[in-house]
């Protein structure tokens, strides 16, 4: 919620694992800004083309139109000076420059709403999200539901063996897990054939 008056810039960050409702929350805030007749621009990284090149699409099928960008500098280059609200999804893919860009946009008086994964497939902080949380005016940490036990889930479980930081997920490649059910070793390429068949069974 932005209570700021007189064009004071404002940075909101929504973080959490996959399936925690980050995109839904981002879309909800942006729709409300549109209802308030504010000028809105929405960006997402071009590499995430799972559902649509020109829309952000939530796992629950909410959609909002967006522009695909390669990195944070391209966000800066594309922002129209008249834009009042800027939405950015999957910010963990836009590079460390995203931090400076967010601060610059905030200092220009824009409301900036950023969503992204706070941890990677091994549970490590996923840059630049920790830095974005530090420079934000307001933060929201969302949780998903653990698909194994129903507890609140803070982790994104990768179900395929790959040690690449970025493996853009189609359905069945990731799921939400709680702290207890999280198994970072499942994603290890060194996993045994026995654990590989376990992965297939769970996917």
Q: Which residues are catalytic?
A: 90
Residue with tokens 């359905």: 171
Asked whether position 113 contacts ligand ADP by CB under 6 A, the answer is no
Tokens standing for 43? Answer: 């960006």
Residue 151 contacts which entry, ligand ADP, Zn ion, none (Cβ below 5-8 A, type-dependent): Zn ion
Asked whether position 24 contacts ligand ADP by CB under 6 A, the answer is yes
Question: Nearest 5 degrees, angle CA 84-CA 89-CA 91?
Answer: 105
3-state secondary structure of 116: strand
Q: Which CB, 9 or 57, lies closer to ligand ADP?
A: 57
Measured from the CB of residue 194, what is the shortest distance to ligand ADP in angstroms? 26
Residue 181 contacts which entry, Zn ion, ligand ADP, none (Cβ below 5-8 A, type-dependent): Zn ion
DSSP 12-46: EEEEESTTSSHHHHHHHHHHHHHHTT--EEEEEET
**Residue among 15, 91, 132, 144 that touches ligand ADP (CB under 6 A):** 144
Q: E strands of 40-184, at which residues?
A: 40-45, 55-57, 63-65, 67-69, 85-88, 111-117, 138-141, 144-145, 152-153, 155-158, 174-177
Stretches 13-21, 60-68, 73-81, 177-185: which one binds Zn ion (CB under 5 A)?
177-185
**Residue among 42, 146, 159, 173 that touches Zn ion (CB under 5 A):** 146
Is 63:26 a contact under the CB 8 Å cutoff?
no
Measured from the CB of residue 151, what is the shortest distance to Zn ion in angstroms? 5
Residues of this chain that interact with ligand ADP (CB under 6 A) are 16, 18-24, 58-60, 144-145, 147, 176
Residues of this chain that interact with Zn ion (CB under 5 A) are 146, 148-149, 151, 178, 181
């Amino acid at each position: 919620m932005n209570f700021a008056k007189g064009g004071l810039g404002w940075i909101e960050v929504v973080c959490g694992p996959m399936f925690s409702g980050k995109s839904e929350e981002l879309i909800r805030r942006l729709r409300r800004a549109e209802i308030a007749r504010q000028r809105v621009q929405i960006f997402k990284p071009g590499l995430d083309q799972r559902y649509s090149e020109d829309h952000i699409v939530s796992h629950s099928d909410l959609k909002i139109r967006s522009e695909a960008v390669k990195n944070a500098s391209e966000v800066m280059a594309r922002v129209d000076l008249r834009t009042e609200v800027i939405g950015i999804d999957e910010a963990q893919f836009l590079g460390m420059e995203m931090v400076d860009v967010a601060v610059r946009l905030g200092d220009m008086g824009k409301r900036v709403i950023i969503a992204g994964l706070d941890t990677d497939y091994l549970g490590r902080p996923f840059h630049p999200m920790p830095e974005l949380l530090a420079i934000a005016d307001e933060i929201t940490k969302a949780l998903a539901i653990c698909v194994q036990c129903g507890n609140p889930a803070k982790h994104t479980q990768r179900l395929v063996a790959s040690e690449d930081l970025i493996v853009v997920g189609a359905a069945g490649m990731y799921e939400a897990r709680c702290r207890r059910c999280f198994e970072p070793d499942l994603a290890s390429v060194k996993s045994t054939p026995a654990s590989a068949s376990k992965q297939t069974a769970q996917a």
